[in-house]
Amino acid sequence: MPIRKLLLPLTGTSAGEAAIATALLVARQFNAHIMALHVRADSRDVAPLAGEGLSGAMIQEMMQATEKESGERSSAVRDLFDRALGGAGIKMEHPTAQADHPSASFATTIGREEDVVAQQARLSDITIVPHPESGDDVSSSDALHAVLFDSGRPVLIAPHRSPVTLGRRVAVAWNGTGEGAASVQAALPWLRTAEAVRILSSDDYQRNGPLARELAAYLALHGVKAELATFRPLDREVGAGMLAAAREFGADLLTMGAYSHSRLRQLILGGVTRHVLEKADLPVLMNR
């Protein structure tokens, strides 16, 4: 299925600029529509604090401060998005099935970001999220994990820096799992048009399921010629070996399944998904 609609949640963080640039690249590639979404905090969420001994006046003051800060952040995000669209020559307009050019829209709503984003992602082809800020615990990225676990749709994690190209050289991390198969399906629009595709596999990464050579045969039926390459862990980290192999290939897109092991296990023990989320310096397409 072609990519026609992109969801772009924006929170006002500095990483948002690279996420917007990533969305613009994808929109141009597929003449897709970017739906930028900013979820404002609900000032009423501070009300339960009244049970901790705060007076009604203090609660009201906190609600007003929350509302003001939320409004300022929303305006800043909208300005950032508008400037990016202006520089790219993309207009705000309603999407249509016959559109032969990229378009965009911007929406603001109030609620819990992870709930709203997951719901909107269910009717989007791809959700593009900013890379977690340096020093943040990636396991606490609510919007990212909401899309992975609650939308049934793929998520594209933007790199820290705006990419120049996306999808010309695609690295496919393969371990034979259902999550990996879903990521391949999501990546097909890029795989069909890429200049080069390389399937990355490792004995330390493989699970019960089809092998890399079987994936290559399947992709050939879709007109995708893919070469095979194996990698080894670096410093006992499978994720580090995978990223090194993707860099060696010159990949500008890595696609992989997410959380073949449980998220709790990866949170406690670490894992390939967590390593890639924390360390990747290229766009990463994930599916679960």
Tens-digit pLDDT profile for residues 199-231: 999 999 999 999 999 999 999 999 999 999 999
In this structure, is the dihedral angle defined by the CA atoms of residues 62, 68, 69 and 74, taken in order, positive or negative? Answer: positive
User: Do residue 146 and residue 179 come from a single domain?
Assistant: no
The percentage of the chain sitting over the pLDDT mark of 90, rounded to a whole number, equals 65
Of the residues 157, 192, 223, the one at which a domain ends? 157
Is residue 267 domain-resident?
A: yes
Give tens-digit pLDDT for 17-50: 999 999 999 999 999 999 999 998 765 665 555 5
What burial letters (b/e) apply to 159-195, b meaning 16+ CB within 10 Å?
beeebeebbebbbbbbbbbebbbbbbebbbbbbeebe
Reading the block at residue 267, the tokens are 């949170």
Is residue 215 domain-resident?
A: yes
Closest CA to 144 of 282, 4, 8: 8
User: Do residue 150 and residue 179 come from a single domain?
Assistant: no
What pTM, to 2 d.p., does this model score? 0.89
Contact 165, 282 (CB under 8 A): no
Q: The CATH number of the domain where 87 resides is what?
A: 3.40.50.620
Is residue 55 domain-resident?
A: no
Residue found by looking up tokens 């924006």 in the block: 10
User: Do residue 195 and residue 152 come from a single domain?
Assistant: no
CA-to-CA dists, residue 62 to 12, 46, 177, 250, angstroms? 21, 7, 48, 50
Which is higher by pLDDT, 144 or 97? 144
User: Do residue 194 and residue 245 come from a single domain?
Assistant: yes
Is residue 209 domain-resident?
A: yes
The H helix count followed by the E strand count for the chain is 9, 10
Residue found by looking up tokens 């080894």 in the block: 232
Is residue 103 domain-resident?
A: yes
User: Do residue 258 and residue 179 come from a single domain?
Assistant: yes
pLDDT of residue 63: 67
Indicate the average pLDDT of the chain. Answer: 87
User: Do residue 153 and residue 188 come from a single domain?
Assistant: no
Reading the block at residue 143, the tokens are 């919007």
Of the residues 122, 157, 192, the one at which a domain ends? 157
User: Do residue 147 and residue 22 come from a single domain?
Assistant: yes
User: Do residue 92 and residue 15 come from a single domain?
Assistant: yes
User: Do residue 12 and residue 152 come from a single domain?
Assistant: yes
Cβ neighbours, 10 Å, residue 230: 14
Give tens-digit pLDDT for 152-192: 999 999 999 999 999 999 999 999 999 999 999 999 999 99
User: Do residue 32 and residue 133 come from a single domain?
Assistant: yes
Q: How many domains does the chain have?
A: 2
Is residue 278 domain-resident?
A: yes
Cβ neighbours, 10 Å, residue 210: 16
Which is higher by pLDDT, 119 or 273? 119
Is residue 118 domain-resident?
A: yes
User: Do residue 214 and residue 240 come from a single domain?
Assistant: yes
* Averaged pLDDT for residues 116-134: 90
Cα 193–Cα 196–Cα 202 angle in degrees, nearest 5? 125
Non-local (6+) Cβ contacts of 40 within 8 A are 70, 71, 73, 74, 108, 109, 110
> In which domain, by residue range, is 99 found?
5-43+72-157
Non-local (6+) Cβ contacts of 271 within 8 A are 239, 259, 261, 265
Residue 3 has pLDDT above 90, yes or no: yes
Q: How many whole angstroms separate alpha carbon 159 and alpha carbon 51?
A: 42
Contact 37, 7 (CB under 8 A): yes
pLDDT of residue 1: 74
User: Do residue 147 and residue 174 come from a single domain?
Assistant: no
Is residue 187 domain-resident?
A: yes
Contact 98, 27 (CB under 8 A): no
Residue found by looking up tokens 């929406």 in the block: 107
